[in-house]
Structure 1
């Protein structure tokens, strides 16, 4: 990748950062360390004082901040804050990057707003903590204007390992939220399991040893699962839908009354029953999300 310790000569290169919270402050410091001229604006001006002391230039208004640079990074809390800032500015050709966790609808609305103002929009999903930014461990997902991404790639490289995931504005938001959802599904699944065995008086540490093996089965099967969905082919694998249904029904009973509920298993059971009724009992679990039109009883 790049060496963050090397000062990059960027004569005349300017970047604006709107929002100086944890992510914004980390981004500003990386840009300053990379030789960029950085303009900052924060609704509460005093919160940018430390960054100004380190070399950033404080703008008196969001319009002043935006107009000072060809690239504007909006490291704000949510889409509402981005929308509010955009309502106060003009964007004659600037690129705006929305660096916040939002929905697909948020990304589309921001892109439309920026387009109306004469700018180009990139949505960004930050898959990293502030402390990890500037290292190879940090990934930021970008979507929207490919030309804008390519033009400002040097800035994005300085902040993280950038990954362009699509030319639709919402692609990064969907990718970002789906990855978060995967973590929540796995973590809540683990918590649900530990809660269940704890209530039964089972040693959680011993159970944890087997839990890691079980979770690893899911990880190692990812390429095969992706291939099944791409090919619309759903082999039984370790069990058929009919066999899965028996286990799912038992799990619903076991989890009933637990702190975290059943994890949506009643909906899964209903889906499996519908597929079985349609003659797909010999298929595997991937069939529950496969397109029905591709399967023949």
Structure 2
């Protein structure tokens, strides 16, 4: 992230709409870096943590928007963004929308903002509130590139900024794709702990084995990306689909022996079997991407 302790970095004033857990974490980072901050939240009491640290609470969203050119929005969903900004004059305002939504939401909201005389940059926060202000936090941005470059230093205060493209929906798409990968990992972790739960296996000791194993396997994504990019799904394959399907019965039988449901496991195994049945035994699981596409 940018070193905001340098006097060469201007302390640009900004408005923050939404002071829930994430909004409060963002606001604290900007206040700590010396940026004047105006805040608003539908439940006014929730601005107290930031006003205690120097922020100014606006009486309503319209007044908060009027206070500064740069307006960061971190609300519940896209509908709440529209409701909060409905009575605000957006002419000449620069909106950074960090509210979680779909790619279609982002594209629609960008057009909506433009019609009202504002520029909009959409963002996807890849962090939980305690990570804000640490090197591990980053935010994906898409939309107006000029807008991104103009405020890059300000955006870098709470989390590393990464621009992913001019299409306003790309940040949301990346966000949801990364979260989907995360939930797939969570499913595997959940199933793994369920398997050892009733055995004499200490959870902490098992986690010490599980984490480095998953980290090592996660690097396989680079190989999958190369195969998807060049269209050859068999080059560089280490464990082919035929071998994996042949061994998959052991996973199911072990779960049955341990009294564990396979409902987190069988959908993926079913896709593997379908791909193998279609004659793709020399591939690895990269080819399952094609089975998931519906158009």
- The TM-score with structure 2 as length reference comes to 0.84
Aligned equivalents of 1:116, 1:246: Cα separation in 2:
57
Unaligned runs of at least 5 residues, structure 2: none
Asked if structure 2 preserves the Cα contact closer than 8 Å seen for 1:252 and 1:262, the reply is no
Aligned equivalents of 1:53, 1:115: Cα separation in 2:
35
Report deviation, 1:55.
Answer: 2.7
Report deviation, 1:273.
Answer: 4.2
Report deviation, 1:233.
Answer: 1.4
Aligned equivalents of 2:184, 2:75: Cα separation in 1:
26
Asked if structure 1 preserves the Cα contact closer than 8 Å seen for 2:69 and 2:93, the reply is yes
Number of the residue aligned with 2:242:
242
Aligned equivalents of 1:233, 1:176: Cα separation in 2:
27
Unaligned runs of at least 5 residues, structure 1: 293-297
Task: Give runs of aligned pairs for residues 1-297 of structure 1, distance below 5 A.
Answer: 1-6=1-6, 10=10, 13-199=12-198, 201=199, 203-204=201-202, 208=207, 210-212=209-211, 214-235=213-234, 237-255=237-255, 261-263=262-264, 265-266=266-267, 268-269=269-270, 271-290=271-290
Asked if structure 1 preserves the Cα contact closer than 8 Å seen for 2:24 and 2:49, the reply is no
Report deviation, 1:118.
Answer: 1.6
Aligned equivalents of 2:170, 2:6: Cα separation in 1:
33
- In the alignment of these two chains, the number of paired residues is 289
Number of the residue aligned with 1:295:
none
Asked if structure 2 preserves the Cα contact closer than 8 Å seen for 1:8 and 1:35, the reply is no
Aligned equivalents of 1:41, 1:216: Cα separation in 2:
40
